[in-house]
Amino acid sequence: MNERGPVRYVLRAIVLVYLTLLIVWPVFLVGKNAFAEGTGAFVDALTEPTTVDAFELTLVVAAWAVVINTVFGVLISVLLVRYTFPGRRILSALIDLPLSVSPVVVGLALLLAYGGTNGWFGPTLESSGLQVIYATPGIIMATAFVSLPLVIREVVPVLTEIGTEQEQAAVSLGANAWQTFRRITLPAIRWALVYGVVLSLARSLGEFGAVKIVSGNIVGQTQTATLVVEERYQNFEQTAAYAASFVLAAAAVLALIVVTLLRPGHAAAPTIRASAEVATPLTTEKDPA
């Protein structure tokens, strides 16, 4: 618009070439390689029992991690934004920690705390019948750890933005805390919440490093989909590796598209835009509520 002339086209070309070489082309090739030996080979690779087991485990783990992170995330978000208590700022800073910790360090940390033989609490837990490391609970914990802040980081800014007036209005009209949350707060943060859940889901389906350490990678038992990709590739089963990758990549891209469609304009969440105190003309389209 403001940049006319050749510079604009040069910059545009640089960006397009850069992103094509770095992202678009490679991602496209995964799809191509997955079907390189035909659809039959692709389906065969995916229906192999150990692969099916791995995808099942990944789904179960991701579902648990997302549910835990959503409940925990909404709870923490409301507490951080709506209440004052000692240590609130420290907690708010610590919440972001998992995003800057290496997955390998996450795995190590869980191992040191809950490892069956040497961990701090592992032996005690195991003697009471709960195996964490090299079992599903450990994988869920690792996955929940790495995706923990995603819901919170989406919900907190929206909660801050909408303020407390609507909630107070509900209270003055006789609503109790739960009614206020369910009827007023939850609908107001719903898009942010969906966005956070989708991001969490994408992250949970794809976690590799932390899961590799805590799962023990036992084929058919604690092997997840991402671990299958690594194993197949290293065993020179290229098609199988690419087939599993294709499914994971497709899920990730699908999540992205869902999120992009949910959030038109990309720059601001609909909830944030709607809260602007402007008298909108009467001709505006109906709210997508």
In order of 67, 110, 111, the CA distances from 135 in angstroms are 19, 12, 12
Helix, coil or strand: residue 130? coil
> Among residues 53 and 244, whose Cβ is nearest to another protein?
244
Helix, coil or strand: residue 51? helix
* Min CB(43)–another protein separation in Å: 19
* Min CB(30)–another protein separation in Å: 5
Cα 106 to the center of its chain, rounded Å: 16
- The conformation of residue 264, written as its DSSP 8-state character, comes to T
> Among residues 22 and 43, whose Cβ is nearest to another protein?
22
* Min CB(121)–another protein separation in Å: 8
> Among residues 66 and 81, whose Cβ is nearest to another protein?
81
* Min CB(24)–another protein separation in Å: 6
Measured N-to-C along each axis, helices 238-262 and 25-34 cross at an angle, to the nearest 10 degrees, of 130
14, containing H or E segment: helix 6-19
* Min CB(118)–another protein separation in Å: 7
Measured N-to-C along each axis, helices 238-262 and 49-82 cross at an angle, to the nearest 10 degrees, of 30
Cα separation, 22 vs 11, in Å, equals 16
Cα separation, 128 vs 106, in Å, equals 24
